Amino acid sequence: MIIDLHAHTWPYSDDSDLSPHQLIEQAKRSGLDGICFTEHDWYWKEEDIAQLSQEHEFPIFQGMEISSEEGHLLVFGLTEYKFGMHHAEFIRQLVDEVGGVIIMAHPYRARVRYNPNPSQLLDTICENHVFDLVDAVEVLNGRSKLKENSFAGELCRRLDLKGVGGSDAHSPADIPSFATQFERRISNMEELVAELREGRFRAVDLRQY
């Protein structure tokens, strides 16, 4: 089952040009088996997600992209934003209480983008304590350049973490790009979190399909 774990819609992510309906229809046309709404510091209500999923006859899941001081974190398993979530350690505490998952999104993308030799950053970045707090790393991001995704992949290998893929969609042109292929069928949030925790997935490039 192939799911895009990272996508944004307007108006809940105010930098997105996609309405929820546009995103879902584009995901279906692109051959995805499901999509996650991961708005910036904002959670969808479960009943609204369920209604959209039923209306479009398409699996939709909800997470959140949190802008923490340690980087952007994709969080699955929580249902609301709380004050203090700009600290990764606090997010980890909340996620552990519900058995959820944290994924580092597009790690250090801006620093890599403007660095002529990003490999020099690896030794320093690998020592960042935030990687002790995450369960996986986004190694394929649709809005990242090749060298940024390559950097994320090498970082993941060095730290022995699992890697996921996501489009980071903000416009129709962003899909299809990257996604995450799961070994088992997923029908609800509990199953999605369980599969992420068990590591039964891999990042995939949908442009090769």
CB count within 10 Å of CB 2 equals 19
3-state secondary structure of 182: strand
CA gap 106, 126 in Å, rounded: 14
Lowest-pLDDT range, 32-36, 55-59, 110-114?
110-114
pLDDT for position 118 = 83
pLDDT at 209 over 80: no
| Cβ proximity of 80 and 43 under 8 Å | yes
Instruction: Give pLDDT, residue 208.
Output: 64
CB 32 within 8 A of CB 165: no
Strands (E), the chain: 2-4, 34-40, 60-68, 71-76, 101-104, 136-141, 162-166, 178-182, 201-205
* Mean per-residue pLDDT over the chain, rounded: 96
Q: What is the mean pLDDT of residues 148-159?
A: 96
Section 189-194 average pLDDT: 98
What share of the chain has pLDDT > 90, as a percent?
93
Q: What total number of domains does the chain contain?
A: 1
Q: What span, in angstroms and rounded, lies between the C-alpha atoms of 197 and 77?
A: 11
pLDDT, residue 120, reads: 83
- pLDDT for the residue numbered 192: 98
Structure confidence at residue 207 (pLDDT): 87
What's the CATH code of the domain at 83?
3.20.20.140
Residue 11 CA to its chain's centroid (Å): 19
Mean local confidence (pLDDT), 154-163: 97
Q: What is the pLDDT of residues 96-119, one digit of tens each?
A: 999 999 999 999 999 999 888 888
- The residue range of the domain holding 108 is 2-208
- Does residue 26 carry a pLDDT above 70? yes
